[in-house]
Structure 1
Amino acid sequence: MSASDIEIYILDASYEVIGGEPHIVIWGIDRDGRRVLLRDRRFRPYFYAIIDKNFYDKIDILLSSIKRLSRPRSPITSLEIVDKKFFGKPVKAIRITTMLPEAVREYRDDVSKIPGIERVVEADIRFSMRYLIDNDIYPCTWHRFRVVERPRSGEYRVDAEYEVIDILHRVEEFVPPRLRVLAFDIEVYNPRGIPKANKDPIIIISLYNSDGEYIEFTANDKDDRNLIKSFIDYVLKYDPDIIVGYNSNRFDWPYLIERSRFLGIKLDVSRRRGVEPSPSVHGHISVPGRLNVDLYDFAEEMSEIKIKSLDEVAEYLGVMKKSERTNVPWYEIYRYWDDEKLRPILLRYARDDAISTYGIAEKILPFAIQLSSVTGIPLDQVGTASVGFRLEWFLIRIAYMRDELVPNRIEREYEPYRGAIVLEPKKGVHEDIAVLDFSAMYPSIMMKYNIGPDTLVKDPEICKEDKCFEAPETGYKFVKEPSAFFKIALEILVKARKIVREQLKKYSVDSIEYRVLDARQRALKILANACYGYMGWVGARWYCRECAEAVTDFGRETIRKAIDIARNLGLAVIYGDTDSLFVKYDKEKIDKLIKTVEDVLGLEIKIDKIYRRVFFTEAKKRYIGLTDDGRIDVVGFEAVRGDWAEIAKELQEKTADIVLKTMDPKKAVEFVRNEIEKLRKGVSEGSIPIDGFIIWKTITKPLKEYEVDAPHVVAAKYLEKAGYRVEVGDKIGYVIIRGSGKISDRARPYINVDVRDIDIDYYIEHQIIPAVIRILGYFGITEKHLKTVGRTGRSLFDYRK
């Protein structure tokens, strides 16, 4: 067959070993919307051995020593001497190529023991990722290949199969083809609490697809064989490119896999016939040929959402309001299934779960797809990878482009270092306050002062004749030339983001192009902002504590200088934190401040928001602001912490809203009193939901290792006695009930408590009043004012600045 050029949107890449030969397999979609498979037989695994400088004249001996290690199963096929850089310094290395990817680890250990080999590197880069990096191929991006079409083998569920002859180039187009997306959710029979796959059947599988169709499969009473088979048949029929779930990597997929195995059913849902879903890197479940995306991984990064349940996230993202969806307590699913009258409610609950999951996917996938195409990590792995790993894969690509060898990951002890500057706030209520933010302060500092492990100076003699930048407090020095590895990476990210932001101007806000490009610029921004934190992460390949410390050092100096400039212009500085300044709003003076900062410090600063009023306690990182558009920002108070009951957080936020909008503490006191009375009545009558009283706390170690029985530990032990499995990392929801003894003794899992048993006095005394007093106490209001009728203390106006 003759060769032709083809453009493919890359979904994923993996490899297979056939006849002792590794084959790269690329899954994609062509311009005609056909699902295709590309096979590349030409690529081979390799790694590098850096040569000790003292052995440069004995390289032949080293090559002979390495050749003798060759094994028949996966022979060493080539040894090549190459000139590379390692942390910016020139080195000579041996590129060692073999046949099987698995053999790289074996050879790595043997080669590292040879005298004259300083270190072995890049042996831990996965084979399929190595192929993508070396050939400048990015997932979730269009690429052009020269191929020969091959007859379909029958092993793959694709429309066409091709052999790669040449990799041509990346196509600068970011809008994906029409992707088939399938959301799924399972409900499991659970009479013993946490279900077990060898005992408890799956009773409902609910699905929602990108054609707007809802599909539901149910068990025959407690026989789930046909349910699982129907699910398999549907997946193969609909043939999704992306399968999304919520917490599916941790529950739905593992349970489906184990349950199918127990029943003797082959969970054959992938595009490679006979290959079932299985655990893979970063903890995700791999479904060959399809991209399995667990949306929970992205929700975990949304710090604004304290409880990451599906219904909470769906409401936060505007997908489905909690008040409009059907809710069933998870611990009562079995009861709703057994009761014919309640079963329709459970089915509606399952439907709402699937629809919510799909709705969340619509919000998250555009960003996730761009994050994948920027970092080079396949879409099904980019969510499960940490921010550090996402950045690292991008840096590995930059290293390849720059002939830099990639350092090994080394286990290190955490080393603390001094952080950013935080000013003491001016206590009280301030009106008309502008918040000024430095744009990407830390990335800008890294570029301006050429900071990186490869430019860090160990020998002060190098810095003569003004050849170095010096951090003002720590004294760390960095050569001005050549450009640091991180500076190069940041310049690439900043330039790419600038281009994307320019392209954004060409499209209307509601266009698909705008949404895609906006998601891309956000992904680029996140990677750039991660560079500073990455250098101080002990798991980083390019770890450099001194570098991270120098960045915060320059950052503190920058903030101090900006404060001096502001004060010289006659602007009152109320507060400062890391890369932000709170100043009295005066448009003319602020315009001068922005220009002077940019001229003198060479960094961009701009107005982030303006508060009509902002209230500071004497504590750092703790304030409440009323924005120009009437929103309330709560920073550092109970209202944003996860270990307080929802009623305390809600009342604190509403109290803040009242005092900042009305400037009348009496109204806030009256509101709190009324709410307390409503709560008392609601608890005694059993007329309010228990949800608002639940306190959530995470189990951080095995229960037997806790020396003191804290309330959440006591509640967790009750759960274990009831047959539930409690593991490290689980969030335990508990409530405090009436009775005698310590608070811990009266903690119970919320799942088996009637709201009438709640100790409302505990919640009033230890949750609600402390939460609202944190605000009202600064205005002369005491607990007594909240518990008694009468006039309160001073007016809030007495506290204005």
Structure 2
Amino acid sequence: MIRKGYILSKGTLTRQGKNLVELWVSTDTGPVCLHSDIQNHTCFVASSQRNSLCALATAHELPITCTDDGFHTLNNEAVSTVKTASDKHMIKLRHLAKENAIILYEADIRLADRYLMERFIYGAVEFVAPDKKSPFIGNAKIRPSHYTPSLTSVSIDIECDENQNLYSIAIASHIHNEVLIVKHPTHRENLALQTPSFAITWADTEKTLLTYFIDRINRIDPDIIMGWNVKQFDMAVLARRARMANIKLTIGRNKRELLVREWEGQTITELAGRVIVDGIEALKTMTYHFDSFALDNVAEQLVGERKLIQSDDKLAAIKHLYINDPIALATYNHTDCILVNRIAEQSKYIDFLILRGTLTGLDIGRPGGSVAAFLNVYLPKLHRRKYISGVRPDNGGLASPGGYVMNSQPGLYDDVIVLDYKSLYPSIIRTFKIDPMGLAEGKKTPENAIPGFKGAMFSKTEHFLPDIIDSLWKQRDQAKRQQDAPRSQAIKILMNSFYGVLGSGGCPFYDPRLASSITLRGHEIMQTTARWIEELGYNVIYGDTDSTFVHIADNHQFGTPAQTGKILSQQINKKWQQKLAQEFGIPCYLEIEFETYFSKFFMPTIRGSEQGSKKRYAGLKVTDTETKLVFKGLENVRSDWTELAKEFQYNLYRRIFEGEPVETFIKSVIKDVKQGAVDHKLVYSKRLRKPISHYIKSLPPHVKAAKHAELENQKRGRPTRFHANMSVPYIITTQGPQTPEYANAPLNYEHYIEKQIMPIADSILPLVGLTFSSIITEQMSLFG
């Protein structure tokens, strides 16, 4: 019988020196483990180096097979197919080849990934099963399928001290809510075992705690284990403590052990039959942006809730609760799990990751992975045409030109519209047939090719990527019609990633001609668009990648600003269709549309210069339902400016845009600062990029504040608090930067006025005939 499922994990097993692929699959009737027949690792070597490689393998008693199967590189060099029987043999072969300057192509593709991609299997799979109850199937026969799984999940969170001694582990799901706690000598015997929302289980030792945790995960049997920084912290700590306790963390299916390893500064986790999903990674993959990805901040922004402990020194607060009020600690621990679950529900990131896997074959728990996604989708198609991929450049490759950014015309404007190209880079790929194989084929038949940049020629008929984009585009349009936001977002991110992949030195298809033919074509399109608009009597004041900002002024030949935007879009689209048909004989998939109308718009200068800035502006955006003040790149949306600065900028700009007087407002803000009425709004926050001890030559303010705080912690016998990647809250005092917790000097109000208020005011006040200094002269004399 034929059954369907969705791949949760994939890997390889070795049996008698041979490799097979293991897939754990979620089905309607529970998890199933599929084992393939024996699989060989595959790579390629230039035919000119084949004999050298074979001689090298023979000399080292390394069994390989080499065959000529008609494959070529994209530079039309013949290659031979090389196969090895095991992981061990392939690793050894790669080392030998590197040591002897022999290039192996596609040798870094994992066996399980190749096994699936060459069968065009992405997430969903069909397989032959003897019956519905079979949890293990050997020599499995599989093929692509369409299947949407209903996956079960739990979230976990641990609490521990500064030495990673475990206090508690919380588990939260729709069916199981429990906190496991290690007993402390101070804990009373009659503490509650049950709270209104979760159970509490006491463990005599940390080893018992871990044993309970293993038991709970296996009893709940979730498809997904979620958490916040769960791979880098929770799973890493649990694995470390399990090793110290001399037990195996067997929380995978079929009692398989969690594997945790460090690689290039990252913690890699592998778990058979389950997926580990980190909420931070998931949201970043979905392109969410936050000032801070701390759970407290993200939960407040997405679900309107916060963590239960708000102390500046959370570690000390947690330790205090553990000793003195373990029920409160358990509640805090469990609440963190609940917040993760609610963020997952609100953002639908599990749905997104499943859909991404369906489109690309990427594992649900894998962050990023743009290059891997491209290879999964593109490489098997390329192999059918007897081409192989290249190799990743050793030097990371040459940087390709970035997106087009026009020099802005600074000023304060009435009536500005924004015209935006829909998915510009994907539409360029689709229109101009930009494609790795198309580049190879274009060189063969230049008479049937479209010229790119840096000498590139792209075949009009032989290509894959434009058709892949075309298919994704249609799927996204369908997702929009069905209001399927996760699917629409997954497709958008995938389409937009293709340019970055082709320009990435980490991609084996890297070629400067590919990326440049996208970005430089974008430059040409944006410049041509601006010229056409100005020929119609409008002023283009700024352009950025795919957006063109047009000042309407008194030109109302096409009606209202919104009507003007729509008519301009129609005319530009028509011009492109005519131009591309005449010059290249190709259909046009470029589409510009009216995006935004600003009734007031401000484009600042670069600070200390008269030159217009880039990627920084503010405007009063008008829609049919609301008028909204929008900031891009200015202090109001930057995480390293104080709350005072952000509020001041917002209120100052709003008053100027709405024609209100500002002198009294500015004076009142200065007065509040001087009198200490807004001290709570004067806190900066900046992240440590590396450990404090690594800052030697340069000591930015947040580092100085952190160093001062750590000295105080040392004096008071407290553990160190600030580590790499942590944000440091700090204020500027008369004695320099200090954390609010350990400030021992008055706030330096002059600093905040000079560095936070004045720059914002002076960026816009001259445009309405005012200066900051003239407004506050009297104020400074009164409160100086």
**TM-score between both structures, scaled by the size of structure 1:** 0.81
Using the TM superposition, give the Cα deviation of residue 606 of structure 1 relative to its aligned residue in structure 2, in angstroms. 1.0
1:227 maps to 2:213: no
Q: Indicate the residue corresponding to 2:272 in structure 1.
A: 288
Q: Indicate the residue corresponding to 1:218 in structure 2.
A: 181
Say if 1:449 and 1:480, in contact at 8 Å, map to a contact too. no
Paired residue type of 2:69: V
Provide, for residues 275-307 of structure 1, a one-character-per-residue CA deviation record: whole Å limited to 9, x for no partner.
234237774322221100111123446463121
Q: State the alpha-carbon separation in 1 of the partners of residues 98 and 210 from structure 2.
A: 49
Aligned mate of 2:169, from 205, 217, 220: 205
Say if 1:148 and 1:165, in contact at 8 Å, map to a contact too. no
Say if 1:431 and 1:613, in contact at 8 Å, map to a contact too. yes
Aligned mate of 1:18, from 15, 33, 40: 15
Provide, for residues 198-250 of structure 1, a one-character-per-residue CA deviation record: whole Å limited to 9, x for no partner.
xxx22232222144x53222221275444333322211111110011111122
Aligned mate of 2:771, from 767, 779, 782: 782
Change (3 A) 1:755 1:739: closer
Say if 2:63 and 2:84, in contact at 8 Å, map to a contact too. yes
Using the TM superposition, give the Cα deviation of residue 144 of structure 1 relative to its aligned residue in structure 2, in angstroms. 1.1
Aligned mate of 2:568, from 593, 608, 616: 593
1:350-361 pair list within 5 angstroms: 350-361=333-344
Q: Indicate the residue corresponding to 1:310 in structure 2.
A: 295
Using the TM superposition, give the Cα deviation of residue 309 of structure 1 relative to its aligned residue in structure 2, in angstroms. 0.9
Q: State the alpha-carbon separation in 2 of the partners of residues 468 and 494 from structure 1.
A: 18
Say if 2:156 and 2:227, in contact at 8 Å, map to a contact too. yes
Aligned mate of 1:606, from 590, 593, 597: 593
Q: Indicate the residue corresponding to 1:176 in structure 2.
A: 149
Say if 1:562 and 1:597, in contact at 8 Å, map to a contact too. yes
Q: State the alpha-carbon separation in 2 of the partners of residues 737 and 331 from structure 1.
A: 25
Paired residue type of 1:378: D
Q: State the alpha-carbon separation in 2 of the partners of residues 66 and 5 from structure 1.
A: 46
Q: State the alpha-carbon separation in 1 of the partners of residues 439 and 671 from structure 2.
A: 62
Provide, for residues 20-61 of structure 1, a one-character-per-residue CA deviation record: whole Å limited to 9, x for no partner.
2322111112233x1111111232222222213xx8xxx8x6
Q: State the alpha-carbon separation in 1 of the partners of residues 384 and 255 from structure 2.
A: 37
Aligned mate of 2:471, from 491, 495, 500: 495
Q: State the alpha-carbon separation in 1 of the partners of residues 742 and 355 from structure 2.
A: 45
Q: State the alpha-carbon separation in 2 of the partners of residues 660 and 755 from structure 1.
A: 41
Say if 2:344 and 2:350, in contact at 8 Å, map to a contact too. yes
Using the TM superposition, give the Cα deviation of residue 568 of structure 1 relative to its aligned residue in structure 2, in angstroms. 2.8
Q: Indicate the residue corresponding to 1:730 in structure 2.
A: 725
Say if 1:449 and 1:478, in contact at 8 Å, map to a contact too. no
- Secondary structure of residue in 1 paired with 2:292: coil
Paired residue type of 1:236: N
Q: State the alpha-carbon separation in 1 of the partners of residues 131 and 343 from structure 2.
A: 38
- Secondary structure of residue in 2 paired with 1:615: strand
Q: State the alpha-carbon separation in 2 of the partners of residues 225 and 654 from structure 1.
A: 57
Q: Indicate the residue corresponding to 2:195 in structure 1.
A: none
Paired residue type of 1:309: A
Q: Indicate the residue corresponding to 2:41 in structure 1.
A: 45
Q: Indicate the residue corresponding to 2:109 in structure 1.
A: 125
Say if 2:429 and 2:465, in contact at 8 Å, map to a contact too. no
Change (3 A) 1:667 1:428: farther
Using the TM superposition, give the Cα deviation of residue 637 of structure 1 relative to its aligned residue in structure 2, in angstroms. 1.4
1:576-725 pair list within 5 angstroms: 576-583=543-550, 584=552, 586-601=561-576, 602=588, 603-617=590-604, 618-628=612-622, 629-661=626-658, 663-666=660-663, 668-669=665-666, 672-673=669-670, 676=673, 680-681=676-677, 683=679, 688=680, 693-700=683-690, 703-704=693-694, 706-718=696-708, 721=711, 722=714, 723-724=719-720
Q: Indicate the residue corresponding to 1:405 in structure 2.
A: 388
Paired residue type of 1:717: K
- When structure 1 is superposed on structure 2, of 345-354 and 608-617 the one drifting more is 345-354
**Identical residues among aligned pairs (%):** 23
- Secondary structure of residue in 2 paired with 1:399: helix
Say if 2:41 and 2:87, in contact at 8 Å, map to a contact too. yes
Q: State the alpha-carbon separation in 1 of the partners of residues 776 and 53 from structure 2.
A: 84
Say if 1:333 and 1:346, in contact at 8 Å, map to a contact too. no
Q: Indicate the residue corresponding to 2:240 in structure 1.
A: 258
Q: Indicate the residue corresponding to 2:202 in structure 1.
A: none
Q: State the alpha-carbon separation in 2 of the partners of residues 534 and 93 from structure 1.
A: 24
Aligned mate of 1:367, from 328, 344, 352: 352
1:102 maps to 2:88: yes
Provide, for residues 668-689 of structure 1, a one-character-per-residue CA deviation record: whole Å limited to 9, x for no partner.
52563465367x1354xxxx4x
Paired residue type of 1:642: S
Using the TM superposition, give the Cα deviation of residue 579 of structure 1 relative to its aligned residue in structure 2, in angstroms. 1.0
Using the TM superposition, give the Cα deviation of residue 520 of structure 1 relative to its aligned residue in structure 2, in angstroms. 2.5
Q: State the alpha-carbon separation in 2 of the partners of residues 434 and 554 from structure 1.
A: 24
Change (3 A) 1:669 1:726: closer
Q: State the alpha-carbon separation in 1 of the partners of residues 548 and 466 from structure 2.
A: 25
Change (3 A) 1:658 1:69: farther
Say if 2:321 and 2:328, in contact at 8 Å, map to a contact too. no
Say if 2:392 and 2:505, in contact at 8 Å, map to a contact too. no
Say if 1:21 and 1:41, in contact at 8 Å, map to a contact too. no
Q: State the alpha-carbon separation in 2 of the partners of residues 327 and 80 from structure 1.
A: 65
Using the TM superposition, give the Cα deviation of residue 399 of structure 1 relative to its aligned residue in structure 2, in angstroms. 3.2
Using the TM superposition, give the Cα deviation of residue 84 of structure 1 relative to its aligned residue in structure 2, in angstroms. 1.9
Q: Indicate the residue corresponding to 1:156 in structure 2.
A: none
Q: State the alpha-carbon separation in 2 of the partners of residues 368 and 396 from structure 1.
A: 22
Q: State the alpha-carbon separation in 1 of the partners of residues 423 and 251 from structure 2.
A: 44
Q: Indicate the residue corresponding to 2:755 in structure 1.
A: 766
Q: State the alpha-carbon separation in 2 of the partners of residues 256 and 292 from structure 1.
A: 14
RMSD across aligned positions (CA)? 3.5
Say if 2:619 and 2:630, in contact at 8 Å, map to a contact too. yes
Q: Indicate the residue corresponding to 1:539 in structure 2.
A: 506
Q: State the alpha-carbon separation in 2 of the partners of residues 438 and 287 from structure 1.
A: 43
Say if 1:69 and 1:107, in contact at 8 Å, map to a contact too. no
Corresponding pairs, count:
719
Say if 2:761 and 2:772, in contact at 8 Å, map to a contact too. no
Q: State the alpha-carbon separation in 2 of the partners of residues 306 and 652 from structure 1.
A: 18
Q: State the alpha-carbon separation in 2 of the partners of residues 165 and 181 from structure 1.
A: 27
Q: Which ranges of structure 1 fall in alignment gaps of 5 or more residues? A: 152-158, 190-194, 741-745, 792-801
Paired residue type of 2:8: L
Change (3 A) 1:421 1:496: closer
Aligned mate of 1:553, from 499, 509, 520: 520
- Secondary structure of residue in 1 paired with 2:108: coil
Q: Indicate the residue corresponding to 2:580 in structure 1.
A: none
- When structure 1 is superposed on structure 2, of 580-589 and 122-131 the one drifting more is 580-589
Provide, for residues 570-608 of structure 1, a one-character-per-residue CA deviation record: whole Å limited to 9, x for no partner.
333232112111123634443332222222223111122
Q: State the alpha-carbon separation in 2 of the partners of residues 172 and 366 from structure 1.
A: 15
Q: State the alpha-carbon separation in 1 of the partners of residues 364 and 336 from structure 2.
A: 23
Q: State the alpha-carbon separation in 2 of the partners of residues 431 and 345 from structure 1.
A: 56
Say if 1:571 and 1:589, in contact at 8 Å, map to a contact too. no
Aligned mate of 1:185, from 157, 169, 174: 157
Paired residue type of 1:639: N
Say if 1:49 and 1:112, in contact at 8 Å, map to a contact too. no
Q: Indicate the residue corresponding to 1:80 in structure 2.
A: 67
1:425-436 pair list within 5 angstroms: 425-436=408-419
